[in-house]
Amino acid sequence: MKLTDIMGQEHIISLLTASLESGRISHAYLFFGPEGTGKTTTAMLFAMALNCERKGEDKDLPCGICSSCKRMKNFNYPDFQVIEPSGLSIKIDQIREVQREIGLKSYEGGWRIFLIKDAETMTIEAGNSLLKVLEEPTDGCVLILISHNYLEMLETIRSRCQLMEFRKMPSPVLEELLIEKYSCSPERALLLSGLADGAIGRALHLNEDDGFFSLREKVLNLLSDHMNPDILKALNFYEELEDSKDKDKSREVVLDILDIMKTWYRDLVVYSYCGDTLLLINQDRKYNIIEEAKVYSIDRLQEMIQKIDEVRYGIERAKGANLPLAIDRIFMELFSEKLGH
Amino acid sequence: MYLSLYRKWRPDSFAQVVGQEHVTRVLQNAIGMGRIHHAYLFCGPRGTGKTSIARLFAKALNCEKGPLPEPCNSCSNCSKIKAGHFSDLIEIDAASNRGIDEIRDLRERVRFSPIEGRYKIYIIDEVHMLTAEAFNALLKTLEEPPAHCIFIMATTEPQKIPLTISSRCQYLNFYRISFNDTLDHLRKVITHENVSVAEEGLRLIAKKAEGGLRDALGLLEQAISFGGTDVSAEDVRRMLGTTDDKVLSDFVKIVSQGRAADGFILIKNIIDEGKNLEQFLKDLIERFRDLMIIAECGQEAWKLVDVFEDECEILQAEAAQFDKEEFLKILEVLSESVNRFRYAAHGRIVLEMTLVKLISSLEVPSVPIEKNISVAEEKVSEKIQAVKESSPKPSIERRTVIQKDPEELSKDVGDLELSRFVEQWRSILNAVKKESVKVHAFMIDGEPVSFQENVLTIRFTSNYSFHKQNLEKEPNRQIAEKVIGDFLNKTIKIECLLVGEGKDSSSSGVSSNTASTNVQAEDDLVKAALDIFGGKVVKVE
């Protein structure tokens, strides 16, 4: 894979290839943007391109076949360090280690590259201790920070980096890509791009994730069955999911459920205002939406979306949140109207 | 070796420092007069020159040609400091060396005299990250260091510095660099770097930098990497992801007219162009902030708003669409949404719900849809049912009405009646005319302004004091009172006043008493005035 193979981020790729050509390499980059937009992939390719043996001969970097590229890809390159959160955050000792390493000379004679993943998880102490090296590292060093939540980072860090903003892909481009390269049907491409909100990584992930679609099917069936609301079924729903027992997966599943709910009620709001199915995300459920939209007032729908947001916010904040309780709560909230009848 | 613009353009002399004259002057005068303090604390936002000025100060103090208000930049000390290996300039990263042990170490070494230069200078950067123990261990040294030793501490978060530390230092506050200073500096940099960047592009960069010169130069560098030696405004806009003004205008229009459906389509278009929604939301906040200032500050506003001349008219028209309350509501909703972006996975939905909230908070009647009406009807009928079923409710309500302040109550009623007067004034006048043409002629230039406790107040402008006086005379007043009374089916009294007597339509019953004494006083005044300009009065009579 070459840098130019990255789709939908032309503004970044053209900048990076231009600086590779002209040699205007900055000492610190911050790659930020939503999840699944290609930040880590681009960072890897850029790091490979910086030390690629065919640099200067070839314009389309990295070659991916020279020894340097291969070793980088396998994380066997001595001048290439990846810093990742240990546990939930990046600690000050990890950054101290970076400082020590930055003082050293290059082993292979090329660029020394430090890739800091999930940079927003740096503790305040870690972030502050990065400031000095981030501003003036030893010559020949490049720091690449990656973050999907750059607002959480220190302003002083952001100000020291070249900011590379990864954007979501325009939905027509994403749909075309899905149809051509991943042989999706146009309907499925439309659905995927809507559900992934333009993030290509997410769309590709969903495309192969049958579990997600069956989960979505179950949730939407519960939500759209307004004629005879089944609160018992809803409350048992989460317990009966297989993934809910898997500790690592359960969190993701809950967040998925909340997102599915949110897109659903969003569609109802949009349909209530527009009376048109063109802008809907859940394209395959048009008829359910038209039916359901008759039941709720817009205020009520907004309220529901807010409730979903609240629960989601709570789960993201508290790492030890009680997930089954969260799902039960949200179903109670959503069904409160139906239960009242 | 290629060097980032913001490192390359670090100032070499105080004259090159952008926008911190109040700081450089203090430091230069201190050197000039030989009154050099032993500890300085530099505070200010990122990218305003704290570290740069600290190094400059160190250079000026250690310059071989004697401490100079402006370093010579040619002697060996100056060039060593510039290259960063001068042995008596010790730059400490307090964020990494934040413990008490590091400070103990520092205290021990402070005692040794300088090797090459005149002063031993400690620059302690990011000093807010020192631990409490480390700060306290520093106190004694900081208060009375050896004569050859100078401490310069720099931080972006002065509130984290203990008071015992800051009281031992000279406190220098760095300001954000103004839009115009940033712009001037950017212009200077591009001429030296031999690149051309469109003026509008520079403005966008300067605005985005938000007072940090490092940010501005970083963005400029990025723009140059992006667009080559000839950078257009469009390049900059694409790089920054700034929203086109046209799109912002469209959104404002959609909000003011309550067209949610068009809003959803607009949002879809923004997404399809690959724009960052968070940036769009920020641009919106900026826009509404500008509009609010334009609406509230009149001519002064143009000093507070960074816009191009050709946009003024458009902005003014947009600003007129909203009132103060609405601006506040809009900005509240928008800034709440910015916070939401941090945790919500679907930026699109956040923005869409923001739109819905904006529109519903402004209570603009949205595009009617049958369904909404039927829902509303259902709700109303439900309410009616509920009211019918719960009979004791009305009595409770009545009690609350009685508990209301009687004065306020009568005022409410008075306002109601007054509006009836205003509406029907013409027909009242016609009725008076039928009764007496003379009284009608006196009344026609008056204006009903308040109706309190069956007293109708009619206001005359000062040109019509004659009419007022005559209307107050009997039997004119009786005729008027009788006709109006018949009109309303009750007995009323009329009071007249001249404009400028301090009574307006909103005055309450209490003040109407004082007003009537005012009328008395005014009468005397008028009489006195008439005495002086007697000729005129005679002619009128």
**What pLDDT does residue B152 have?**
93
- Whether A171 and B272 lie within 8 Å, measured CB to CB: yes
Which of B208, B237, B348 should we substitute to test contact with A (largest number of A Cβ atoms within 10 Å)?
B348
Domains in chain A and their CATH numbers? Answer: 3-165 (3.40.50.300), 169-198 (no CATH), 209-340 (1.20.272.10)
User: Do B214 and B314 fall within a single domain?
Assistant: no
* Percent of residues, chain B, with pLDDT higher than 90: 11
- What's the complex ipTM? 0.74
Give the whole-angstrom CA distance, residue B367 versus residue B359. 11
- Whether B346 and A262 lie within 8 Å, measured CB to CB: yes
Task: Express each pLDDT in B183-196 by its tens digit.
Answer: 999 999 999 888 88
Kindly report the CA angle at A269 between A268 and A273, in degrees rounded to 5? 115
Task: Express each pLDDT in B296-325 by its tens digit.
Answer: 887 777 777 766 666 777 788 888 888 888
Closest by Cα among A203, A166, A198 to A181: A203
Q: Closest partner residue to A24 among B2, B345, B356, by Cβ?
A: B2
- Whether A163 and B352 lie within 8 Å, measured CB to CB: no
Q: Is the pLDDT of residue B396 over 60?
A: no
Q: Is the pLDDT of residue A265 over 70?
A: yes
Give the whole-angstrom CA distance, residue A161 versus residue B335. 26
Average pLDDT over residues B288-292: 87
Average pLDDT over residues A121-147: 86
Q: How confident is the model at residue B42 (pLDDT cuts 50, 70, 90)?
A: very high
Give the whole-angstrom CA distance, residue A107 versus residue A109. 6
How far A144 CA lies from chain B's nearest CA (Å)? Answer: 15
Do the beta carbons of residue B169 and residue B40 sit within 8 Å? yes
User: Do B131 and B225 fall within a single domain?
Assistant: no
Do the beta carbons of residue B249 and residue B284 sit within 8 Å? no
- Tokens 């997966």 belong to A249
Q: Closest partner residue to A168 among B214, B271, B372, by Cβ?
A: B271
Q: Is the pLDDT of residue A8 over 80?
A: no
Beta-bridged to residue A144, according to DSSP, are A29, A115
Give how far Cα A181 sits from Cα of A62, A170, A174, A204, B293, Å: 22, 16, 10, 11, 51
Q: Closest partner residue to B274 among A27, A128, A170, by Cβ?
A: A170
User: Do B314 and B353 fall within a single domain?
Assistant: yes
Average pLDDT over residues A180-208: 83
**What pLDDT does residue A66 have?**
85
Average pLDDT over residues A69-81: 85
Task: Express each pLDDT in B155-173 by its tens digit.
Answer: 998 899 999 998 999 999 9
Asked if A21 has any chain B CB less than 8 Å from its own CB, the reply is no
Q: Closest partner residue to A139 among B1, B340, B345, by Cβ?
A: B1
B154 or A215: which leads in pLDDT: B154
- Tokens 């009579």 belong to B541
Element (H, E) at B128: none
Give the whole-angstrom CA distance, residue B524 versus residue B536. 17
**What pLDDT does residue B40 have?**
93
User: Do B348 and B437 fall within a single domain?
Assistant: no
Which of B48, B50, B210, B353 should we substitute to test contact with A (largest number of A Cβ atoms within 10 Å)?
B353
Q: Is A261 exposed, middle or buried (0-12, 13-18, 19+ CB in 10 A)?
A: buried
Q: What is the 3-state secondary structure (H, E, C) of A265-283?
A: HHHHHHHHHHCCCCCCCCH
Element (H, E) at A182: none
Spell out which residues of chain B touch residue A152, defining contact as CB-CB under 8 Å.
Answer: 342
Angle, helices B199-209/B213-227, rounded to nearest 10 degrees = 140
| Closest chain B residue to A91, measured at CA | B96
DSSP B116: S
Q: Lowest-confidence range among A7-16, A203-212, B300-309, B409-418? A: B409-418
Give the whole-angstrom CA distance, residue B194 versus residue B5. 13
Spell out which residues of chain B touch residue A166, defining contact as CB-CB under 8 Å.
Answer: none
Give the whole-angstrom CA distance, residue B484 versus residue A257. 71
Beta-bridged to residue B335, according to DSSP, are none
- CATH number of residue B58's parent domain: 3.40.50.300
User: Do B352 and B466 fall within a single domain?
Assistant: no
Give the whole-angstrom CA distance, residue B93 versus residue A98. 14
Q: What secondary structure does DSSP assign to A27-84, as a single string?
A: SEEEEE-STTSSHHHHHHHHHHHHH-TTBTTBSS---S-SHHHHHHHTT--TTEEEE-
User: Do B51 and B166 fall within a single domain?
Assistant: yes
Do the beta carbons of residue B121 and residue B62 sit within 8 Å? yes
User: Do B184 and B143 fall within a single domain?
Assistant: no
Task: Output the pTM of the full model.
Answer: 0.65
**What pLDDT does residue B520 have?**
53
Q: Is A320 exposed, middle or buried (0-12, 13-18, 19+ CB in 10 A)?
A: exposed
How far B429 CA lies from chain A's nearest CA (Å)? Answer: 49
Do the beta carbons of residue A199 and residue A180 sit within 8 Å? no
- CATH number of residue B455's parent domain: 3.30.300.180
User: Do B231 and B375 fall within a single domain?
Assistant: no
Count of A-B CB contacts under 8 Å: 166
Q: How confident is the model at residue B413 (pLDDT cuts 50, 70, 90)?
A: low
DSSP A98: H
User: Do B418 and B376 fall within a single domain?
Assistant: no
Task: Express each pLDDT in B529-540 by its tens digit.
Answer: 666 666 544 444
Choose one of B215, B240, B265: the last residue of a domain.
B240
Q: How confident is the model at residue B522 (pLDDT cuts 50, 70, 90)?
A: low
- Tokens 């005729």 belong to B479
Task: Express each pLDDT in B495-510 by its tens digit.
Answer: 888 776 444 444 444 4
Q: Is the pLDDT of residue B336 over 90?
A: no
| Closest chain A residue to B349, measured at CA | A266
Q: Is the pLDDT of residue A313 over 90?
A: no
- Whether A170 and B273 lie within 8 Å, measured CB to CB: yes
Give the whole-angstrom CA distance, residue A93 versus residue A101. 12
Give the whole-angstrom CA distance, residue A254 versus residue A156. 35
Which of B1, B3, B4, B205 should we substitute to test contact with A (largest number of A Cβ atoms within 10 Å)?
B4
| Closest chain A residue to B237, measured at CA | A11
**What pLDDT does residue A300 have?**
84
Distance from CA of residue B52 to its chain's centroid?
32
Average pLDDT over residues B64-89: 86
Give the whole-angstrom CA distance, residue B202 versus residue B212. 14
Q: Which A positions 59-98 lie with beta carbon below 8 A of chain B? A: 92, 95-96
Q: Is the pLDDT of residue B394 over 60?
A: no
Q: How confident is the model at residue B372 (pLDDT cuts 50, 70, 90)?
A: low
Give the whole-angstrom CA distance, residue B469 versus residue B477. 10
DSSP B17: -
Give how far Cα B134 sits from Cα of A75, A291, B128, Å: 39, 67, 11
**What pLDDT does residue B309 have?**
64
How far A58 CA lies from chain B's nearest CA (Å)? Answer: 20
Do the beta carbons of residue B515 and residue B503 sit within 8 Å? yes
Give the whole-angstrom CA distance, residue A61 versus residue A58. 7
CB atoms within 10 A of CB A275: 14
Give the whole-angstrom CA distance, residue A223 versus residue A230. 10
Task: Express each pLDDT in B121-144 by its tens digit.
Answer: 999 998 999 999 999 999 988 888
Spell out which residues of chain A touch residue B98, defining contact as CB-CB under 8 Å.
Answer: 125, 129
| Closest chain A residue to B209, measured at CA | A159
Give the whole-angstrom CA distance, residue B427 versus residue B448. 13
Q: How confident is the model at residue A278 (pLDDT cuts 50, 70, 90)?
A: confident
Give the whole-angstrom CA distance, residue B369 versus residue A293. 12
Distance from CA of residue B493 to its chain's centroid?
50
Spell out which residues of chain A touch residue B225, defining contact as CB-CB under 8 Å.
Answer: 15, 18-19, 22, 24
- Whether B348 and A34 lie within 8 Å, measured CB to CB: no
- CATH number of residue B271's parent domain: 1.20.272.10
| Closest chain A residue to B275, measured at CA | A167
| Closest chain B residue to A299, measured at CA | B360
Q: Is the pLDDT of residue B447 over 60?
A: yes
* Percent of residues, chain B, with pLDDT higher than 70: 80
Six-digit token string for A58: 């070839």
User: Do B186 and B312 fall within a single domain?
Assistant: no
**What pLDDT does residue B533 have?**
66
Q: Is B331 exposed, middle or buried (0-12, 13-18, 19+ CB in 10 A)?
A: middle
Average pLDDT over residues B44-73: 88
Q: Closest partner residue to B342 among A130, A152, A198, by Cβ?
A: A152
Spell out which residues of chain B touch residue A198, defining contact as CB-CB under 8 Å.
Answer: 271, 274, 348
Closest by Cα among B169, B147, B148 to B43: B169
Which of B127, B351, B371 should we substitute to test contact with A (largest number of A Cβ atoms within 10 Å)?
B371
**What pLDDT does residue A63 have?**
79
Q: Is the pLDDT of residue B31 over 80?
A: yes
Closest by Cα among A293, A289, A202 to A252: A202
Close Cβ partners of A336 (under 8 Å, ≥ 6 residues apart): none
How far A204 CA lies from chain B's nearest CA (Å)? Answer: 16
Choose one of B145, B173, B201: the last residue of a domain.
B173
How far A217 CA lies from chain B's nearest CA (Å)? Answer: 19
**What pLDDT does residue B124 have?**
92
Q: Is the pLDDT of residue B371 over 70?
A: no
User: Do B146 and B99 fall within a single domain?
Assistant: yes
Q: Lowest-confidence range among B263-277, B375-389, B435-449? A: B375-389
Q: Is the pLDDT of residue B179 over 60?
A: yes
Give how far Cα A193 sits from Cα of A220, A282, B102, B155, B347, Å: 18, 10, 54, 45, 13
Asked if A112 has any chain B CB less than 8 Å from its own CB, the reply is no
**What pLDDT does residue A61 have?**
76
- Whether B261 and A262 lie within 8 Å, measured CB to CB: no
Q: How confident is the model at residue B464 (pLDDT cuts 50, 70, 90)?
A: confident
**What pLDDT does residue B1 have?**
66
Average pLDDT over residues A310-321: 79
Domain that includes residue B378, residue range: 368-403
Give the whole-angstrom CA distance, residue A175 versus residue A187. 9
- Whether B238 and A11 lie within 8 Å, measured CB to CB: yes
Residue B136: phi, psi to the nearest 5?
Answer: -65, -35
Six-digit token string for B210: 């938000």
A336 or B277: which leads in pLDDT: B277
Total structural domains within chain B:
5
Amino acid at A12: I
User: Do B91 and B169 fall within a single domain?
Assistant: yes
| Closest chain A residue to B45, measured at CA | A156
Give the whole-angstrom CA distance, residue B61 versus residue B54. 11
B489 by DSSP, 3-state: which? Answer: coil
Choose one of B193, B213, B240: the last residue of a domain.
B240
Average pLDDT over residues A187-197: 84
Give the whole-angstrom CA distance, residue B394 versus residue B360. 30
Closest by Cα among B174, B172, B100 to B141: B100
Closest by Cα among B224, B181, B178 to B201: B224
Six-digit token string for A146: 């990656």
* Percent of residues, chain A, with pLDDT higher than 90: 4
**What pLDDT does residue B345 have?**
67
How far B425 CA lies from chain A's nearest CA (Å)? Answer: 43
Asked if A232 has any chain B CB less than 8 Å from its own CB, the reply is no
Q: What secondary structure does DSSP assign to B353-383, as a single string?
A: HHHHHHHHHHTPPPPP-HHHHHHHHHHHHHH
